[in-house]
Amino acid sequence: MRNTLKISVAIAAASAVALGASACSAPSDTTASDKGDKNAPLVVAASPTPHGSILDFVKNELAEKEDLKLVVKPFNDYKIPNKVTDDGQVDANFFQHKPFLDTFNKENGTHIVPVQNVLIEPLGVYSKKIDKLSELKSGSTVSVPNDPSNEGRALKLLADNGVITLKPGVGSDAKLTDVKDDKGIKITELEAAQTAPRIDDVDAAIINGNFAIGAHLKPSKDALALEKAKDNPYANFLAVKKGNESDPRIKKLAKLLNSPEVKKFIEDKYKDGSVIPAFGPAKS
């Protein structure tokens, strides 16, 4: 069928909303690891929810018994955390999955590596205008995250639910050019952090789990469709600049993030299935 794909691009500028400009540069007293001091506080950049919440739990409930001093720096952004990890402003980050990291490293010349898997956040389709996906019709608008890895996931989710059709053999690595039949749906690309705030601008929006939570959306209740968690390759992990994997503080934090206490915290706090434990070593 003829592809009538209509694409409108609206890429929002990246900004560390949670902390403003101050979040982009950790104070000197929390970057002592640059001086080789492995007894200094471990500074970790993270999305506020759920990653920051989990780290705060570790900091407040578990870190002391491991003699770990933890500083959590929240960023409501998908670009800055890797940059400040790579240039040494923070020691680690916790917000992303492997496909996103691979693309980021390639495009930005950074050298971030995964350390420990922690969780999966299923991607969801949300709307303030329709009650079911079958109400989407020719001329309807759907926003998707514009970074390659999450956009591919979003397109696959739409295809899995019959909204669009992808070319044969195409999966979660899909690009807009892989859409075989858009059925007249207008796909709008947005920076991931803007998909939730701008949900009123479209008929439906595909939103990452952490941004859905931040927008007070409940995936199990509010999502018109939700990415399946089983065999999902998009586990979010603790990551560091290459060469820092053996930092004893990183090893302590990795152990705590995969502890029974954290598993229970995730399952109790996110009973709606928006966040699911996914423990184990992360693949480089």
Cα-based distances in Å from 159 to 69, 153, 186, 248, 266: 45, 10, 14, 44, 30
Residue 86: predicted pLDDT: 98
Q: Do residues 129 and 203 make contact, with C-beta atoms less than 8 angstroms apart?
A: yes
Domains of the chain, each with CATH number or no CATH: 42-122+232-281 (3.40.190.10), 124-226 (3.40.190.10)
**47-94 per-position pLDDT tens digit:** 999 999 999 999 999 999 999 999 999 999 889 999 999 999 999 999
How does strand 186-190 pair with strand 236-241?
Answer: unpaired
pTM: 0.73
Tell which residue, 236, 234, 251, 238, has the closest CA to residue 115: 238
* E strand or H helix that includes residue 160: helix 148-160
CA 153/CA 267 separation, integer angstroms: 24
Please, what's the b/e burial string for 191-202 (b: 16 or more CB within 10 A of its CB; e: otherwise)? bbbbbbbbbeeb
Residue 209: predicted pLDDT: 87
Residues of the chain with pLDDT under 50: 1-30, 32, 35
CA 66/CA 2 separation, integer angstroms: 60
